[in-house]
Amino acid sequence: MPSSGEALHQSSRQWTSGNQVCDRPHADLLFRYFQADMDQPQAPSDDGCSRVSHRRRIVRILTTIALAVTTLVGLTYSSIRSVQGVTSRSSSRHQVQWQQDVSYWSCLAIEARGLVVPGERVEIDKQGLASKVILEKTVGGWTRLVSSAQNPSAILALENDHSERSCLGSVVVEYPPGSRLRGPPEKIGSGGSDPGTNSLPATPL
Amino acid sequence: MNAVEAATLTFLAFAIAGTLPAVAIAGQSGATPPLAILVGAVETAMAGVCALVIASTILPWFLLISVLGALLSLPSLIRRHRRQPVAERSAHRSSQIPSIATMTALVLTLAVCLVPLRVPSVGWDARAIWLLRSSWFLQGHEYLLFAMRDATQSGLIAHASYPPLVSTAAALSWQLTGNHSDRLGVVVVTLLNASATLATAWVIVEIGRIAGRKQEPQRRARFAELIGAVCAVLFVLVAFDVFGPFATNGYADPLWSMAAAGAIGYGLILPCSRRNVGAAAILLAVSGLTKTEGTATAIILVILISTRYALDVVWPRLHEPPDLVPRHRLMVAGRALWPVTACCTAAIVCLSLWPALVKVLHTARDVNTSGSRQGTWGSRWHETVTAIAPYLHLLLLAVPVAVVSGLVLSRLRSDLGLGNDLWAWLGLLGGMVVVAAAYVSGPGNTAFWLLTSVHRTTMFPVTAAWLIIAVWTVLALVSLGAPKAQVSAPEEVS
């Protein structure tokens, strides 16, 4: 009793050498072609099947050529797109825009460092999401952000200011703890200067 | 010290720290330099964990771990050196020229892709998550523990518990060089992305070389190697197209995606060998320590790679020697299986350490893994599929290519000892399912979550699909260039 593997080999040999098997309907032939014999070596044949094996070889080569061309075109097209993207992202316009971004954040950091020291317990203004996020990014890496119930030593907020000392129209200010941001700020950040209007580049999320 | 000098010094430190362990784990090949850098980065993550759990800052721990890593690697390196015959060593040295030429081409291609680094862009997440946490790691144990635990400190960025690698690598560069700038942090992350890309591209080079070894005459062998090198160069370019602006603005997604794709390459595509599984292990460590979805994907890949290696070990023992009774064959196979099982278990435990640690330390909860859910399973599933589908149009090319190639070239593929393509597809699907499951079963509003992240979370399947396509391209071209008798193995014809 031959194993299933042997049976498969036997049947595939029979197909390539026996005339009656060569005359099978096209669909069946195609199925068997891919199923067992497409990538098999060709047995030498001197009967009518040589035509079939020749055709099979040509189909195989043409399929491989089509594959190689398709994948190479895909890879090359995406590579060209990549180079175009690289060129666009490194343009001088982008460089100027992102340099403004660097100046803005640097300005805010200088102002904040003039108000609080590293490690200090600070509460940040949570009235506006934008100012909250900006302040978190500015001081969240070196101060201890706490809530009002955790005894902060200062409250930091962002206020509109279009003077020379502002950071694109904002300035960091400090309120005394427990003041609930009422009245004038206790201190106003200084040292940074990035005047102008907010023209920062869009940051992809 | 400016950012370029500081980044150079940092990567020199990574390379020095990582070279001996990388060679001990993954052997010596063209991929050794990028793998060594990645091992250095993994060591910074380990240093970050020590700083968080025990005491001190990241630099002393990094130095200690580097020395320990080098010492632990020495016995394995000495053993390997003694085993390798002298003739083989000198032959190895003489065959370095094509490797160097290929590596030069890849590095030059990467240099082109890194031109946008001249623009000082710092991405949203880079500033709000990765580099903010780098500042925490920079300040040492006490501050780090406070920041990770306190809901006010970590409440806004919401991802305090993300794996540490990207943040610790940047923190180490700051501490080592004294240049505490976002710019340096972004450059370090970008160069890590480049290292992972280089290591992954080497899989394609390696396939060209494996095909070349089976070719005669020498001219055909060189042709196969050249095909591998060219396809690797194209893969690098394509990868940076997939990453887009996130390749050079400090985001962590390109790193975990490329590392996981590389692990597919070494663990599921290249022939089973200790060297290849070692390289896969390094890349899995990088993926798992970079982002939460990277950890989940890495665990799935560990299971797949282990299964492939287990089958590779067990299968011959079940059939040989023929004189053994079936029960004995099973025992022999079972005995051969335990190292694979042990390695798989150890890898899963290592990958689960960080998630377990953040739970034990009671760090602030991550909004992506906690809180209440909005919407039904059905609505979230629909939203997820609708959002993900436009980013996966590459599969319309990759799937037919894989099916047709499987029919036409699978014989050549198995003759070269490469893993069945289905393994790579299982890896790709595993990563996709993890991400989709997180969107469907996770908390919050899926629509907003998808809107702000799906273009990045789909980087992994797209990169892996390009890797699969590139591998089939090499095989198709090699098949066309080779004489018929070599493409088809004659031994099975009676």
- How do residues B4-34 score in pLDDT, each as one tens digit? 999 999 999 999 999 999 999 999 999 999 9
What number is the average pLDDT over the span B268-274?
Answer: 96
- Burial category of B328 from C-beta neighbours within 10 Å (exposed 0-12, middle 13-18, buried 19 and up): exposed
* pLDDT one-digit tens code per residue, B461-486: 999 999 999 999 999 999 987 765 44
In this complex, do A63 and B404 lie within 8 Å of one another by their Cβ atoms? yes
What number is the average pLDDT over the span A62-85?
Answer: 96
Tell me how close the Cα of B449 comes to any Cα of chain A, in angstroms: 11
SS3 sequence of chain B: CCHHHHHHHHHHHHHHHHHHHHHHHHCCCCCHHHHHHHHHHHHHHHHHHHHHHCCCCHHHHHHHHHHHHHHHHHHHHHHHHHHCCHHHHHHHHHCHHHHHHHHHHHHHHHHHHCHHHHCCCCCHHHHHHHHHHHHHHHCCHHHHHHHHHCHHHHHCCCCCCCCCHHHHHHHHHHHHHCCCCHHHHHHHHHHHHHHHHHHHHHHHHHHHHHHHHCCCCHHHHHHHHHHHHHHHHHHHHHHHHHHHHHHCCCCCHHHHHHHHHHHHHHHHHCCCCHHHHHHHHHHHHHHHCCCHHHHHHHHHHHHHHHHHHHHHHHHHHHHCCCCCCHHHHHHHHHHHHHHHHHHHHHHHHHHHHHHHHHHHCCCCCCCCCCCCECCCHHHHHHHHHHHHHHHHCCHHHHHHHHHHHHHHHHHHHHHCCCCCHHHHHHHHHHHHHHHHHHHHHCCECHHHHHHHHHHHHCHHHHHHHHHHHHHHHHHHHHHHHCCHHHHCCHHHCC
Check residue B201 and give its pLDDT. Answer: 98
In this complex, do A40 and B493 lie within 8 Å of one another by their Cβ atoms? yes
Chain B residues close to A90, C-beta within 8 Å: 115-116, 118-119
Chain A residues close to B112, C-beta within 8 Å: 83, 86
The share of chain A scoring above pLDDT 90, in percent, equals 43
| Residues making up chain A, counted from first to last | 205
d(CA A41, CA B491): 9
Residue B456 has pLDDT above 60, yes or no: yes
What number is the average pLDDT over the span B58-78?
Answer: 96
Tell me how close the Cα of B299 comes to any Cα of chain A, in angstroms: 27
Q: Are A79 and B241 in contact (CB under 8 A)?
A: yes
Q: State which of A13-27, A157-171, A180-194, B232-246 shows the largest mean pLDDT.
A: B232-246
Chain A residues close to B167, C-beta within 8 Å: none
In this complex, do B244 and A13 lie within 8 Å of one another by their Cβ atoms? no
Among B48, B295, B249, which residue's Cα sits nearest to residue B147? Answer: B48
Mutation for B interface: A86, A91, A108, A113, most B CBs within 10 A: A86
Quick one: pLDDT band at residue B64, thresholds 50, 70, 90?
A: very high
Check residue B298 and give its pLDDT. Answer: 98
Nearest to A98 among B115, B120, B135 (CB): B120
Check residue A185 and give its pLDDT. Answer: 87
ipTM of this complex > 0.85?
A: yes
Peptide bond into B321 cis (omega under 30): yes
DSSP A11-50: HHHHHHH-HHHHTS-HHHHHHHIIIIITTSPPPP--STHH
Residues B78-91: b if buried by 16+ CB within 10 A, e if exposed:
eeeeeeeeeeeeee
Check residue B132 and give its pLDDT. Answer: 93
Chain B residues close to A118, C-beta within 8 Å: 139
Nearest to B234 among A34, A43, A79 (CB): A79
* pLDDT one-digit tens code per residue, B163-221: 999 999 999 999 999 999 999 999 999 999 999 999 999 999 999 999 998 887 788 88
The 8-class DSSP code of residue A202 comes to P
Check residue B373 and give its pLDDT. Answer: 85
In this complex, do B407 and A38 lie within 8 Å of one another by their Cβ atoms? yes
Comparing alpha-carbon positions, the chain B residue that sits nearest to A64 is B476
Check residue A132 and give its pLDDT. Answer: 87
Quick one: pLDDT band at residue B248, thresholds 50, 70, 90?
A: very high
Tell me how close the Cα of B170 comes to any Cα of chain A, in angstroms: 13
* pLDDT one-digit tens code per residue, A93-143: 999 999 999 999 999 999 999 999 999 999 998 778 888 889 999 999 999
Average the pLDDT over each of B224-233, B284-293, B309-318, B469-478 and give the range with the smallest value: B309-318
d(CA B6, CA B182): 12
Check residue A23 and give its pLDDT. Answer: 43
* Strands A121-124 vs A154-160: parallel, antiparallel or unpaired: parallel
In this complex, do A68 and B476 lie within 8 Å of one another by their Cβ atoms? yes
Chain A residues close to B476, C-beta within 8 Å: 64-65, 67-68, 71
Tell me how close the Cα of A95 comes to any Cα of chain B, in angstroms: 5
Tell me how close the Cα of B119 comes to any Cα of chain A, in angstroms: 5
Chain B residues close to A11, C-beta within 8 Å: none
Residue A24 has pLDDT above 90, yes or no: no
Nearest to B473 among A71, A136, A201 (CB): A71
Chain A residues close to B466, C-beta within 8 Å: 75, 78
Residues B329-362: b if buried by 16+ CB within 10 A, e if exposed:
beebbeebbeebeebbeebeebbeebbeebeeee
d(CA B301, CA B316): 23
Nearest to A68 among B128, B134, B477 (CB): B477
Residue A183 has pLDDT above 60, yes or no: yes
d(CA B185, CA B173): 7
The share of chain B scoring above pLDDT 70, in percent, equals 93
In this complex, do B152 and A145 lie within 8 Å of one another by their Cβ atoms? yes
Tell me how close the Cα of B161 comes to any Cα of chain A, in angstroms: 15
d(CA B242, CA B104): 23
* Strands A170-175 vs A187-188: parallel, antiparallel or unpaired: antiparallel
B188 vs A181, residue with greater confidence: B188
Q: Which tokens is B470 given?
A: 């590139």
Q: Return the amino acid letter for B107.
A: V
Tell me how close the Cα of A203 comes to any Cα of chain B, in angstroms: 6
Average the pLDDT over each of A138-142, B46-50, B171-175, B278-282 and give the range with the smallest value: A138-142
Nearest to A67 among B132, B405, B453 (CB): B405
SS3 at position A138? helix
Comparing alpha-carbon positions, the chain B residue that sits nearest to A118 is B139
Quick one: pLDDT band at residue A33, thresholds 50, 70, 90?
A: very low
Residue B492 has pLDDT above 90, yes or no: no
Check residue A149 and give its pLDDT. Answer: 86
Average the pLDDT over each of A158-167, B27-36, B149-158, B225-234 and give the range with the smallest value: B149-158
In this complex, do B121 and A60 lie within 8 Å of one another by their Cβ atoms? no
Q: Find all residues with CB under 8 Å of B475, minimum gap 6, and list them.
A: B207, B211, B405, B409, B412, B413, B416
Average the pLDDT over each of A3-17, A64-78, B395-409 and give the range with the smallest value: A3-17
Q: Find all residues with CB under 8 Å of B262, minimum gap 6, and list them.
A: B196, B199, B200, B203, B279, B280, B283
Nearest to A68 among B125, B150, B480 (CB): B480
Q: Find all residues with CB under 8 Å of B401, minimum gap 6, and list them.
A: A67, A70, A71, B468, B469, B472
Check residue B322 and give its pLDDT. Answer: 66
What number is the average pLDDT over the span B378-397?
Answer: 96
In this complex, do B128 and A119 lie within 8 Å of one another by their Cβ atoms? no
Check residue B96 and give its pLDDT. Answer: 78
Check residue B118 and give its pLDDT. Answer: 94
Chain A residues close to B139, C-beta within 8 Å: 118-119, 142
Q: Are B214 and B415 in contact (CB under 8 A)?
A: yes
Place of tokens 């940047």: B170
In this complex, do A41 and B112 lie within 8 Å of one another by their Cβ atoms? no
Check residue B67 and give its pLDDT. Answer: 98
Residue A27 has pLDDT above 50, yes or no: no
Mean pLDDT of chain B: 91
In this complex, do A75 and B182 lie within 8 Å of one another by their Cβ atoms? no
Average the pLDDT over each of A17-26, B253-262, B283-292, B417-426 and give the range with the smallest value: A17-26
Residue A57 has pLDDT above 90, yes or no: no
Q: Which tokens is B213 given?
A: 């070894």
H/E stretch holding A85 reads: helix A49-89
Comparing alpha-carbon positions, the chain A residue that sits nearest to B127 is A137
- State the pTM of this model: 0.90
Average the pLDDT over each of A14-28, A61-75, A101-115, B51-65 and give the range with the smallest value: A14-28
What number is the average pLDDT over the span A56-79?
Answer: 95
Q: State which of B96-105, B311-320, B330-339 shows the largest mean pLDDT.
A: B96-105
What number is the average pLDDT over the span B46-55?
Answer: 96
- The separation between CA B235 and the C-alpha centre of its own chain, rounded to angstroms, equals 15
What number is the average pLDDT over the span B133-159?
Answer: 83
Chain B residues close to A89, C-beta within 8 Å: 116, 119, 245, 248
In this complex, do A74 and B469 lie within 8 Å of one another by their Cβ atoms? yes
Check residue B494 and give its pLDDT. Answer: 29
Q: Are B303 and B343 in contact (CB under 8 A)?
A: no
Size of interface A-B (CB pairs under 8 A): 181
Comparing alpha-carbon positions, the chain A residue that sits nearest to B488 is A41
Chain B residues close to A57, C-beta within 8 Å: 484
Q: State which of A47-61, A189-203, B440-454 shows the largest mean pLDDT.
A: B440-454
Place of tokens 């979550």: B449
Q: Which tokens is A46 given?
A: 């001197």
Peptide bond into B461 cis (omega under 30): no
SS3 at position A136? helix
Residue A13 has pLDDT above 80, yes or no: no
Chain A residues close to B157, C-beta within 8 Å: 136, 140
Mutation for A interface: B139, B149, B156, B487, most A CBs within 10 A: B156
Q: Return the amino acid letter for B317.
A: R
